[in-house]
Structure formats: C-alpha cells, structure tokens
Amino acid sequence: MTSQRYLLLAVALAGCSASEAAPAQDAPGTATDKKIAALAPARLAGSARLDKAIATYFGSVSTQRTYIQTDKPLYQPGETIWFRADVRATKTLVGGPPGGITMQLVSPRGAVIATKRVLVQGGVARNDFALPPDIEGGEYTLQLTADTGGSDARKVIVNTYEAPRLMKTLELLRKAYGEGDPVTAAIEVKRTTGEPFADRALTGVVTIDDAEVQRLALRTDKDGKALARFQLPAQIARGDGLLTILVEDGGVTESIQKRIPIVMKTLQLGLYPEGGDLVEGVPGRVYFMAKTPIGKPADIEGSVVDDRGQVVTELRSIHDGMGRFEIVPAAGRRYHVEITRPVGIVTRAGVPAARPDGCVLRTVGSRGDTLRAAAICKTAQRLQVEATLRETRLAGGAFEAEAGIPALVELPIARTAQGAVRVTLFSARGEPLAERLIYHGAGANLKVALTADRKSYAPRDRVKLHVHATDARGNPIKASVGLAVVDDTVLSFADDKTARILAHTYLEPELGATAADPIEEPNFYFSDKPEAAAAMDALLATRGYRKFEWRQVLPAGGSQP
C-alpha cells in the first residue's frame, strides 16, 4: 500500500454506546442561566400514581432500532457491497435471540434486483450483494425488513468513476447569502498518501446565473489549506451561484464544486418557545430555525422588535440556521423578528404570544450521571417532573416552585443512558405544562483503537490489526465491532454525510427524520466542534418541538402527586 492510503472505518455498539466523539456541555450564558446554575437543587418528593402510570405504559411498549453499515458509499459495476445490519431493542439497544432479516437491493427505478435472507445473532447480521458488471448506474437502496417488525434503508451510489489523484474538501462558512454579501469558503487538498498539497496554486471560479463573475488566485498553506474570499454582486437575477476550485498537479487538473446558497427575498423562519409557551413577565427562551424556500438551512442575523418599533434583542444563528434568544414578554405586547442578514430579506415572523400564566421549562445541561433542568412559574405551585428515554422512565419527582423564582431540579440518570431525554413538567393535577428534549450522556461512548502490526505495507501484503474497545474511562469492554477497509479517496469523492451509528440510533428516531425530511449533516452534532453542544440543544428545541400526547399514558382523571 505504498501508493494508496486506506482508511479503517469502525463501528461499535455495546449497551447504549458507540465509537464517536461527543459534544461538550453548553456553559451558562445569560444572567438567568448563571442565576439558575448557582441554585441549590429543589427537593424531589415521590409521586407514586403518575410514576407508576408512566412506567406501566412503557413496560408494555416494545419496538426495535436498526442500522445498516456498508463498507463504502460509492461502488463501481462488478464490485461487491459488503453490509452489516444491527437489529436491537429500542429500550436497551441490546440484540435479542437469533432471528432473521430480509435484505433487498432496490434499483433507482424501484425494482428489486436481489433479495437475501440473513441470520441475526446477537443483534447483528452480515452479508453482501455482488453487483453485475453491466448494472446501470444510479442511487440504489439497501432495504432491511426484520422478522420482528423493524425496518430500515440505506442509499448507495453505483457508477463508473476514476478515483481522483487528490483528496479535496470545500465548505462554505455560512448556509445562506444575499446580494452583495461577502462569502468565505474553506479549502483543503491532500494527496492520496495523506500528505498536504502544500504551498501550491489553486484557482477559484465564481459563477452567478451561468456567467463567470470572478476568478480567484489562491494558494494553499503548509497544511494544504486555503480560504477563498469574494463578494457577491449587488444585483442578482435568479440566485444560481456556483464556486469551483481548480487544482493542477503534474499536468492534470481536478476540480471540486459547491453551490452557493443565495437567498433572494424570502426565507422560512420558525420560532419555538422553549418547552412549549412563553409566559408574561417570565424570562423565556425562543429557539429559531431558518430555511431557504426549498427547505435548506439558512444562517441568519436579525433583531427582535416589539409592536412599538423598539429593538428588544438581537439574534444570530449558531449552526444551520438555528439559534435562540431570550425575552421577558410584557403583558399586552407583541413581538416579531426582522432579518438583517442575508441582506434584502423581507420575511418577518411573529413571536408566539405569551400566556398570562403558567410555567416555562429551561434546559441547564448534564453533569455526569445527573440531568439538570429548571422551571420558572408566574405563580407558586407544586409541579411534577418526569424524564423518559426510549420506552423507559428514567427519573422524576414532585417539587415546589415559588412565584417568579427559578427552581432547579437534578434528576439522577445513569451516564450510560445516552440519548435525547424527554423531560416533562406536570401540574399537581397531572396536566402536562411544558416539555422538551435534552441530550444526556454525551461522552459515554465507546472508544475503539486500531493498531496495525507494521507501519507500512506493500501491495498484497497481509495486514494484522489489533482492535481495542474501552469505555469512556478507559476500561476494556466487550463490544460488537464492524470494520471496513476502504481507499479513502473514494470517501472524499463521494462526500457521504449520511448518519453514522450514533446519530442514526440516538437522534434521528427522536426527531422523526425520514428520507424525505432528513436532518442536515446529522453527524456534526456528535463531533468535537466547539459549537456542537449548542447546535444539538438548538436542534432538539426546534426539530424536536412538539406537544406530546399523554392521554395514552396517564390514568383517567389525572394524577395527584
């Protein structure tokens, strides 16, 4: 392997963990956040009837979660698709007794071209599909149907291609631009051996509405990285923008392109009060999600303005058009959001009206084996808090909330109970008052280390790998590991951003993600990026915003804590 670099892709799942990095917790920001962080937690009392009703309901529910891993996302005719399928109980993420699944390979036209029955042992099934040499190109689907009722699908591309000589990435630093806006794009180029394409000339071509408007002379640094900076025209007709980076090496020119998301006049802007509703005179947070007219994320900046034309606060998205702002709604006042960037956007969105009375729920974050949240109520009352995750009641209890004073609650939850926890506030009569999803257990993932027996290999040499799985504290742990060896130029060429095992298991099912309505780049939320934790919080508060149905769970007549 002296002329090609290969990438080892490992996926592991044991109990509730997987081998990916986890986001750090969000630090307190506003004065209200800091005040809550300094509070002593409220004393929680039992609430036998409500606790029992929730535990009984989830005890009768049993579903499955599945995940399909392939060795790579892009195949040529005549190659073999190697796949591994996980079929696990939703509640425990542990495999059941031996069973079977049906795997089908479906063509771009919807025809089933191959079917296999595969044995599932310990929650895992493995097999392959050999592609005919004359198979037509396009997007194919691996369709899983488990005998126990679970189902899943994964897309792969079949096409004839020539592997690039250089690995190239191109990312725009914002998700939306308007007329006259400055644009910055990050570029990285490496050789197939992994060496940086250092101190080399690049050419950037900016095309707007099918016409070249600017040509950029660029140069990579010692790490093979460069920034392309340019400004969009002051007037744009259709908004069809494209950035192309040309890379020349040894007389051969390769390119990478990225469409520039230009927004002309309107955006979709959703506003979501944290936990459900704003309450007059009570500090609350409003999360927002901005999208282009075709449903793609759009980064924005703007102002919250009241009905007298006064700016109350400013807002700015932190990732994929999502963010939040804090507001203390006054009685009788109305508020709306005006977008200042991208420039020229005429869309306005009204902030949902505040209720005259009630409670708001506020996420505080997790500390080890404790999930923390706060309640702020307009009037003093007794509340019940419940935390549930994947068909399991985790913790809960009753507490007292004073008028206008935050009450901090700490719920004891095992660190291994990782995922999007559903936290609900109930009134003393058992009525749901506020609810949101809070991610718990970040950092409890398995760590998988791969060690080769030699530093380098020649073609056809035998490779021995040592696989070592540990928990977050470095203790060895038993795990089911899937391993693929792939030429990483293929991964660079395919630019696959579909959900890996953490995002697919812990996040997508909680947010109702589908092929028709996916989460944009779901793996980002489990990365080590500085903004990943805040982005996860915003995703759960926007995409996860809904008022849950509790009538199937609660006993008739409500519950008295």
- Domain presence at residue 11: no
**Helix%, strand%, coil% for the chain, nearest 5:** 10, 45, 45
If asked whether residues 312 and 245 sit together in one domain, one would say: no
Residue where one domain finishes, among candidates 320, 350, 380? 350
How would residue 7 be classed by pLDDT, with cut points 50, 70 and 90? Answer: very low
Beta strands in 262-413 (DSSP E): 268-273, 284-291, 301-306, 311-316, 322-327, 335-341, 348-350, 359-367, 370-377, 381-389, 392-401, 407-412
Encode pLDDT of 189-218 as tens digits.
999 888 999 999 999 999 999 999 999 999
For the entire predicted model, the pTM comes to 0.86
Query: 188 versus 250: which is more confidently predicted?
Result: 188
Encode pLDDT of 347-396 as tens digits.
999 999 999 999 999 998 777 789 999 999 999 999 999 999 998 889 99
If asked whether residues 282 and 251 sit together in one domain, one would say: no
- Domain presence at residue 406: no
Return the DSSP state at 135: P
Encode pLDDT of 532-543 as tens digits.
999 999 999 999
Strands 151-158 and 74-75: parallel
Strands 359-367 and 480-487: unpaired
If asked whether residues 147 and 213 sit together in one domain, one would say: no
Q: Which of 112-116, 444-448, 516-520, 551-555 has the lowest mean pLDDT?
A: 551-555
If asked whether residues 200 and 143 sit together in one domain, one would say: no
Nearest to 423 by CA among 482, 370, 478: 370
At 278, which CATH number?
2.60.40.10
- Domain presence at residue 181: yes
If asked whether residues 289 and 254 sit together in one domain, one would say: no
- Domain presence at residue 473: no
If asked whether residues 188 and 249 sit together in one domain, one would say: yes
- Domain presence at residue 487: no
If asked whether residues 280 and 255 sit together in one domain, one would say: no
How would residue 250 be classed by pLDDT, with cut points 50, 70 and 90? Answer: confident
CB atoms within 10 A of CB 98: 10
- Domain presence at residue 293: yes
How would residue 414 be classed by pLDDT, with cut points 50, 70 and 90? Answer: confident
Which tokens in the block code for residue 201? 């000339």
Yes or no: say if 385 and 433 are a contact pair by the CB < 8 Å rule.
Answer: no
Query: 295 versus 558: which is more confidently predicted?
Result: 295
Residue where one domain finishes, among candidates 261, 285, 309? 261
Whether 16 has a pLDDT exceeding 50, the answer reads no
- Domain presence at residue 408: no
Encode pLDDT of 282-322 as tens digits.
999 999 999 988 888 999 999 999 999 999 999 999 999 99
If asked whether residues 247 and 289 sit together in one domain, one would say: no
In terms of residue numbers, what domain contains 144? 77-84+93-158
Q: How many structural domains comprise the chain?
A: 3
**What's the distance, Cα to Cα, between the start and end of the chain in Å?**
67
If asked whether residues 249 and 282 sit together in one domain, one would say: no
If asked whether residues 150 and 182 sit together in one domain, one would say: no
Peptide bond preceding 98 in cis form (omega within 30 of 0): no
How would residue 20 be classed by pLDDT, with cut points 50, 70 and 90? Answer: very low
Would you call 525 exposed, middle or buried from its count of C-beta atoms within 10 A (0-12, 13-18, 19+)? buried
If asked whether residues 152 and 182 sit together in one domain, one would say: no
Mean pLDDT (the chain) is: 88
Residue where one domain finishes, among candidates 261, 290, 317? 261
Q: Which of 56-60, 73-77, 132-136, 536-540 has the lowest mean pLDDT?
A: 56-60
Encode pLDDT of 462-508 as tens digits.
999 999 999 878 889 888 888 888 877 777 777 788 999 999 999 99
| N residues, the chain | 561
At 110, which CATH number?
2.60.40.1930
- Domain presence at residue 223: yes
If asked whether residues 275 and 344 sit together in one domain, one would say: yes
Q: Specify the 3-state DSSP secondary structure of 94.
A: coil
How would residue 554 be classed by pLDDT, with cut points 50, 70 and 90? Answer: low
Encode pLDDT of 118-174 as tens digits.
999 999 999 999 999 999 999 999 999 999 888 999 999 999 887 788 989 999 999
